[in-house]
């Protein structure tokens, strides 16, 4: 197997700088093995149709990323790689015909590379077999497998003869949650759910052992557990549990980090991250956003993401706009409360901590205030700060479209983001804000025919087919771990 050995420059200083290198994982066969009885245990709301998710949806995401980040790998080849009857070899990390980019990188490929090292292979097989309680015979079988096949088995749980030896890790598609780059540091996350334990192990081994991350070893941060946590009573274990996922971390400027305290990210983990990052002087300001512990919110990137220096997309009923609605129309707000089995407006708690003044955090009343401060103070936005609301803030579309990730968009470059095509009202709101809205398939056709180029695309919402992807409860932001972005503001 040809290794991706180019040492990677790892640096992310914003959510919107031009994306140059990203970690993404194409839907693997494990996603097609999620059964209804285990779906929620494996963090899925529904089962997906794998063929549609791949060919009809995610493959377009891959092609878009390649066209913007590594066009030589895809330009002029779409017809060939997507021909009817083609076995999708172009998209499979274990196939010799895989596109194998060093800019659009699949962790499965990196995992296969490090498994060529006998010491790494032995340690990782032993660790995973211990976690999965495998027999000695299974461990011996894994040790003797080719590296590419072994990497695939670690992720899908299935051998080449279709035998399942342990559960799949279907959430590996959401690479945002395995780690986050903060300036030139890598924060490895600690998932809250047992279903993602194997992902954590695989991620640790990749970042510490692959030459792609040569030189990063001293700048990898792991969140420590509380001291002697294993001796604590069960109630205190939950309170002091260190869990954090990448969907709750946003690098919005070189000096300012946002962290969500949510269903998946614990207060203890947030406190540990603040301490470590301030001690290492990685950032000087951290804003903590405590959101309701509800499945429909999950992470902060399910309720807002950044589009450009002065434009954000967010959920109205968790913002000032939601409170204004409640005051304006009491009846409508209480109807919403009845229908959604909760409050029409869920109040957020926001505190901004400054290095050296940690004992005196500054409270921020509304989400819009925080985001406007980021735009103006941190990024120097001169234009009016604009908020695009999920579902155009129309009842009941705001909540419906937030559920299908209207607020979870990935900026490929400033002002150009990828969203889901099923969120019609949100797309209308983008158009009202002056953005072009175009389907991903149509845009790719324009690239192939030479009508336009990635460089020419500005202020655009690209709509990805999403009937099956949205069932997995994660958008384009969730499905990406940026490793390198251009700086903005000459930072």
pLDDT over 80 (residue 414)? yes
Tokens of 487: 């700086």
Q: How many secondary structure helices (H) and strands (E) does the chain include?
A: 16, 18
Q: Look at residue 234 in the predicted model and tell me its pLDDT.
A: 57
Angular region, 306: left φ>0, alpha ψ -120 to 50, beta rest? beta
34 or 134, which is more confident: 134
pLDDT, tens only, 3-42: 554 556 899 999 999 999 999 999 999 888 888 877 676 6
Structure tokens at 255: 């000096």
Dist CA 116 CA 124 (whole Å): 12
Helices 197-209 and 118-132 pack at an angle, to 10 degrees, of 170
Candidates 3.40.50.1820, 3.10.20.30, 3.75.10.10, 3.20.110.20; CATH matching 19-485: 3.75.10.10
Greater confidence, 443 or 86? 443
- Sequence spans of domains, the chain: 19-485
How high does pLDDT run on average in the chain? 89
Tell me the DSSP string of 148-184: HHHHHHHHH-B-TTS-B-S---GGGG-GGGGEEEEBT
Tokens standing for residue 347: 């109040």
- Widest distance between CA atoms in the chain: 67
Q: What is the pLDDT of residues 369-412, one digit of tens each?
A: 999 999 999 999 999 999 999 999 999 999 999 999 999 999 99
Q: Is the pLDDT of residue 335 over 50?
A: no
Buried b (16+ CB within 10 A) or exposed e, 277-310: bbeeebbebbbbbbbeeeebbbbbbbbbbbbbbb
Q: How confident is the model at residue 330 (pLDDT cuts 50, 70, 90)?
A: very low
The yes-or-no verdict on residue 332 having pLDDT over 50 is no
Which pair of structure tokens corresponds to residue 326? 């409640």
Q: What are phi and psi of 322, to 5 degrees?
A: -65, -40
In the block, residue with structure tokens 């009846």: 331
Cα separation values, 430 from 119, 388, 417, Å: 51, 7, 11
pLDDT score, position 91: 97
Of 392, 443, 343, 428, residue with least CA distance to 78: 443
pLDDT tens-digit map of 455-474: 999 999 999 999 999 988 89
> Closest Cα partner for 471 from 29, 42, 25, 23?
42
Tokens (6 digits) for 124? 């990782």
* Residue indicated by tokens 């009857």: 85
Buried b (16+ CB within 10 A) or exposed e, 33-43: bbeeeebeebb
CA–CA separation, 466 and 297 (whole Å): 19
Share of residues in the chain with pLDDT > 70 (%) = 88
């Amino acid at each position: 197997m040809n290794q991706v050995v180019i040492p990677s420059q790892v640096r992310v200083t914003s959510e919107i700088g031009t994306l140059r290198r990203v970690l993404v994982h194409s839907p693997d066969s494990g996603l097609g093995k999620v059964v209804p009885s285990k779906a929620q245990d494996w963090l899925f709301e529904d089962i997906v149709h794998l063929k549609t998710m791949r060919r009809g949806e995610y493959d377009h995401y891959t092609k878009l990323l390649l066209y913007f980040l590594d066009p030589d790998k895809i330009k002029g080849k779409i017809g060939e790689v997507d021909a009817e009857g083609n076995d999708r070899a172009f998209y499979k990390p274990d196939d010799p015909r895989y596109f194998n980019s060093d800019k659009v990188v699949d962790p499965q490929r990196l995992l296969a590379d490090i498994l060529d090292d006998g010491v790494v292979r032995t340690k990782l097989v032993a660790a995973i077999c211990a976690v999965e309680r495998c027999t000695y015979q299974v461990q011996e079988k894994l040790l003797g497998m080719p590296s590419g096949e072994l990497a695939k088995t670690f992720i899908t749980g299935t051998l080449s003869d279709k035998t399942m030896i342990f559960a799949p890790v279907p959430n590996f598609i959401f690479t945002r949650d395995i780690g986050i780059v903060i300036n030139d540091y890598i924060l490895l996350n600690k998932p809250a759910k047992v279903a993602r334990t194997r992902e954590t192990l695989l991620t640790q081994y990749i970042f510490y052992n692959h030459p792609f991350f040569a030189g990063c070893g001293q700048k990898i941060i792991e969140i420590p557990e509380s001291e002697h946590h294993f001796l604590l009573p069960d109630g205190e274990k939950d309170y002091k549990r260190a869990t954090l996922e990448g969907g709750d971390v946003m690098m919005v400027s070189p000096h300012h980090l946002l962290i969500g305290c949510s269903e998946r990210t614990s207060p203890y983990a947030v406190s540990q991250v603040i301490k470590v990052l301030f001690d290492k002087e990685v950032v000087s300001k951290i804003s903590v956003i405590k959101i309701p512990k509800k499945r429909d919110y999950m992470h902060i990137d399910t309720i807002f993401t950044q589009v450009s220096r002065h434009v954000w997309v967010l959920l109205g009923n968790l913002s000032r706009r939601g409170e204004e609605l409640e005051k304006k129309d009491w009846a409508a707000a209480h109807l919403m409360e009845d229908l959604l089995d909760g409050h029409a407006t869920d109040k957020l708690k926001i505190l901004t901590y400054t290095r050296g003044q940690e004992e005196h955090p500054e409270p921020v009343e509304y989400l819009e205030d925080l985001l406007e401060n980021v735009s103006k103070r941190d990024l120097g936005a001169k234009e009016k700060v604009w908020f695009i609301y999920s579902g155009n803030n129309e009842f009941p579309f705001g909540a419906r479209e937030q559920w299908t990730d209207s607020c979870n968009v990935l900026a490929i470059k400033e002002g150009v983001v990828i969203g889901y095509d099923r969120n019609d009202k949100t797309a209308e709101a983008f158009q009202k804000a002056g953005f072009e809205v175009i389907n991903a398939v149509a845009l790719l056709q324009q690239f192939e025919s030479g009508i336009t180029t990635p460089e020419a695309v500005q202020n655009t919402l690209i709509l990805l087919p999403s009937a099956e992807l949205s069932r997995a409860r994660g958008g384009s932001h969730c499905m990406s771990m940026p490793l390198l972005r251009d700086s903005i503001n000459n930072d």
